[in-house]
Each structure stands twice: as structure tokens, then as C-alpha cells.
Amino acid sequence: MIECNIAISACGTSQGPWGLYWVVPVPTGALKWDNGGKLVTIEMHDVPVIDQPKWPAHGAEATLARMSFKMIFAATDKAVNYDDKAKRFRVTGFLATCRMEARVAVPSIGFVWKSDLIDKCPPAEFAVIGDEVNGKYYDEAGAK
């Protein structure tokens, strides 16, 4: 399971920034590692997601939607280590940039949105390619 927490902008439009959050299992073939693990591409099509504009409000209405996306992460040479013992959370790896293109459709309301092509949007300036441990696994993994 790969968890993405990404804020994407509607590049080339006047729509302004949109925040997306989703958790999606990545099927075989959708995740490709290149350049010794320093370049990662995730590409998925027609993924079922939930549109929930009023989230995190309690009882926010949820509508079925579909999303297709391609993300390219490119690691830099700058190593990072985020370790919060109080929250039992650690990430080790390398800073990276991320570029993304996406298409989202909410059929029940006739809404479709498509970003500019991946090469037309500037990369996000913060991403990490690395390993993460949390919760009970934090203690099992030990300090690094």
C-alpha cells in the first residue's frame, strides 16, 4: 500500500490550489524504479476514489469519483532523517522533487478536471524517496 498526501495546483488555470489526499493500493506494473532507486514513476488509470469536498467535517457527503494520474519522483543527493520519538514516526531517505498530472471525474455531477501535462507543471519542491516506520513498527525497527 502506498500512501500519498499531495497538494496539487491547477496549473495554467485560474482555479487556484486544490488539496487531494488518497490511499491507494498500487498494482504490479504501476510502480517503476529507475536510476538505482533515485527515479520513481507511479502511473494508474481509472482508480475509484471518493470526492468529499466538505472533509474533514463530521458527516461530510461522499461521492464516488474516478482518478487517473502519473507522478514522477526524482531524488536529490541530499539525505534526510526525520525522527520523532514522541510520535513514533521516522522517515529516512533523500529529498526529491515530484511532478504530477491527473484527471478526476465525478460522474454523478458531471464534473471532470484535467491538469496540464506533466512537463508543463513545475515540480513540487518537497518529496522524499525513502523508508518510513511508525506506530508499533517504530520500536521494532529500532533507531537508525
Q: Where are the domains of the chain?
A: 2-141
Residue 34 burial by Cβ neighbours in a 10 Å radius (0-12, 13-18, 19+): exposed
Report the amino acid identity of residue 82: Y
Task: State if pTM tops 0.75.
Answer: no
Helices (H), 13-141: 136-141
Instruction: Per-residue pLDDT tens, the chain, 144 aa: give them.
Output: 444 444 343 343 333 444 455 667 788 888 899 998 899 999 999 988 888 777 778 888 888 999 999 999 999 999 999 999 998 889 999 999 999 999 999 999 999 999 999 999 888 877 888 888 888 778 777 655
Cell numbers given for 4:
500519498
β-bridge mates for residue 65, sequence order: 49
